[in-house]
Structure 1
Amino acid sequence: MSTLSTAPDARANLMLDMPLPQDQNLLAWTGDPNDAGHVTAQSAGGVAGKITLVRMNIRRRITWSNIWLGLSGIDSGASLSNCYLGVYDTTGARRGTTADVSADFMVNAIGKPLALATPFTAEPGYYFIAMLLNGTWTTNSFHFKGTGAGVSVNSGLAAPLLRYSNLLTGQTSLPASITLANQVTTIINTGWGSYWLAVS
């Protein structure tokens, strides 16, 4: 019976078979987009005005210019406003934000980059990608691609380093700072977590 070798060159060959962000001209991601086969949706009443956070591990110094997401469904009858994506560091300081991307969520259900208003240099470490949605929409029409991991995404973790979380209510813009110790999972535990994101 043969066994899989764990010699250094064998491990290197295995790594060559693993999809990496640079294979798709990206700098980091929450996972291979090929595995994002699930659709994650949430009602306007459940998520509007709340900030949802996805933890991202940046492993080398980069210039962060765009946040990518997989928009998988459009609601042509939606009324969206004050929708933003942004980036926070582990101190809770906002490092970057997009302009209002409401119009981007009304067209082209594809994987798309949304530009930060001002790119920034990100040193290696954890960052949190924030999403803020506002308006009204049909839950099962407006949605994003995700992994379907659901509540298991935070296994073994606690605030302030939850992988998927939410905080605050009634927001119409991304604040200059947030308190990561206040992370909760009220939206994540009802099916909103695990949506796919990437960096370029």
Structure 2
Amino acid sequence: MRTRTTTVSTGLVTALAVVLALAGCSNAPDKGRSATAGPTASAPAPAPQGGGAGFDGPRPQDQNLLAWTGDPNDAGHVTAQSTAGVAGRITLVRIVLREQITWSNIWLGLAGLDPNAQLANCYLGVYDAKGTLVASTADISPQLMTDAIAKPLPLAKPFPAAPGTYFIALLLNGNWATNALTLKSTGAGISVNAGLTPPNLRYSSILTGQSSLPATVNLGEQSTATINTGWASQWYAIS
């Protein structure tokens, strides 16, 4: 019995030693790794980006238009087109297109009428950035005598307008009362040209003594001499 007990005890001691040895191996540190490494820490989730686009105001498409020189809600002023100041003189308002369109009409805001005016050879037209006339209306004298509202005036021939810079030209001829025949305009006045020089003025005049819109104009000759007297840039839209 004595010998048997010793043999069993020796076997238990040997088994315990093997277990402890195996446990020691499993806890032995690898090179470059901590022996007591805890759970792997994950990288923090990236912060969400900013919100969507903010409110950017009314767009021409909201009113079934393709482009405009400004929100018509801001065209609260009027510009008096004096016979001495603008008869035979071409005024130019710049407009920049951001996408391809088919340009069929020029809208203007007729603010006031002169029932006694005698008008003839009055036109709207479109010049490209090189000063080439690409489209024009027929004589708009009859439309300037009726309905003081915003109205579309059709081009003689609609044209495909690529993105880029254009100038809407207005030519008036005849006789009328200065403070009767008026057009809707922006409130910026001459400050509309802040930071700009010819041939890139947003509002200017060019040439005198004209009875029709010439095929080409030199945009480098844009002038503010007349409009600096207090006129404001006419409001226009496109459809």
Shorter-chain TM-score bucket reads over 0.9
| Deviation for aligned residue 1:187 | 2.4
String of CA shifts for 1:112-158, please: whole Å, max 9, x gaps. Answer: 00000000111001000000000010011100111221110100000
1:175 pairs with 2:207: no
The structure, 1 or 2, with the larger RCO (C-alpha pairs under 8 Å, 6+ apart) is 1
Letter paired with 2:81: Q
Instruction: Write the deviation string for residues 22-53 of structure 1: whole angstroms up to 9, x where unpaired.
Output: 00011110111011111111310110000000
Structure 2, unpaired ranges of 5+ = 1-48
Name the one with the larger strand percent.
1
For the 8 Å contact 2:90–2:210, the answer to whether it is kept is yes
The residue identity in structure 2 corresponding to 1:81 is A
Structural mapping, 1:154-169, within 5 Å: 154-169=193-208
Q: Which amino acid aligns with 1:183?
A: Q
Moved over 3 A (4+): none
Structure 1 unmatched ranges of 5 or more? 1-5
The answer to whether the 8 A contact 1:82-1:100 is kept is: yes
Aligned to 1:75: 114
Q: Which residue of 1 aligns with 2:192?
A: 153
SS of 2:215 mapped into structure 1: coil
CA distance in 2, matches of 1:187, 1:71: 21
Scaled by the length of structure 1, the TM-score of the pair is 0.93
**Structure with greater Cα Rg:** 2
Aligned equivalents of 1:187, 1:128: Cα separation in 2 = 18
Q: Indicate the RMSD between aligned Cα atoms, in angstroms.
A: 1.1
Aligned residues: 191
Question: Structure 2 length as normaliser, TM-score?
Answer: 0.78
Conservation of the 8 A alpha-carbon contact between 1:68 and 1:197: yes
Q: How does 1:4-83 map to 2 (within 5 A)?
A: 7-9=50-52, 12-15=53-56, 18-83=57-122
| Separation in 1, partners of 2:58, 2:187 | 19
